[in-house]
Amino acid sequence: IINGSTRGSLRGKKVLITAGGTREAIDPVRFIGNRSSGKMGIAIAKAAADVGATVELVLGQISVPQPVHPRISIYRVESTEEMQTKVTELFPSADILIMAAAVADFRPAQVANQKIKKQDDQEQLELQLVKTTDILKTVAEKKRAEQLVVGFAAETADLIQNANKKLRSKNADIIIANSVAGDNGAFGSDLNQVTILQLGTEPVQWSKMKKIEVAIKLIQLLATKMK
Cα 204 to Cα 174, 196, 201: the distances in Å are: 11, 5, 9
Tell the smallest beta-carbon distance from residue 105 to Ca ion (Å): 4
Cα 58 to Cα 6, 79, 125: the distances in Å are: 27, 12, 33
Residues near Ca ion (CB under 5 A), total:
1
Residues near ligand CTP (CB under 6 A), total:
15
Q: Are 44 and 71 in contact (CB under 8 A)?
A: no
Provide the pairing of β-strand 54-59 with 14-19: parallel
Instruction: List the beta bridge partners of residue 152.
Output: 176
Of 80 and 147, CB closest to ligand CTP: 80
* Window 88 to 127, contacts with ligand CTP (CB under 6 A): 99, 101, 103, 105
Tell the smallest beta-carbon distance from residue 136 to ligand CTP (Å): 3
Provide the pairing of β-strand 191-192 with 174-179: unpaired
Residue 106 is assigned to a ligand binding site: no
Of 48 and 101, CB closest to Ca ion: 101
Tell the smallest beta-carbon distance from residue 117 to ligand CTP (Å): 31
Q: Is 25 exposed, middle or buried (0-12, 13-18, 19+ CB in 10 A)?
A: middle
Three-state secondary structure call for residue 200: coil
Of 8 and 185, CB closest to Ca ion: 185
* Window 138 to 197, contacts with ligand CTP (CB under 6 A): 151-154, 166
* Window 46 to 105, contacts with Ca ion (CB under 5 A): 105
Report the residue closest to Ca ion, judged by CB: 105
Q: Within 10 A of 13 (CB to CB), how many other CB atoms are there?
A: 19
Residue 170 is assigned to a ligand binding site: yes
Separation CA 106–CA 128 (nearest Å)? 9
37 contributes a contact to ligand CTP by CB under 6 A:
no
- For 12, phi then psi, to 5°, come to 85, -5
Residue 131 is assigned to a ligand binding site: no
User: Annotated active-site positions, please?
Assistant: 34
Annotated binding site: 105, 115, 152, 166, 170
Contact residues toward ligand CTP (CB under 6 A) are: 80, 99, 101, 103, 105, 132-136, 151-154, 166
Contact residues toward Ca ion (CB under 5 A) are: 105
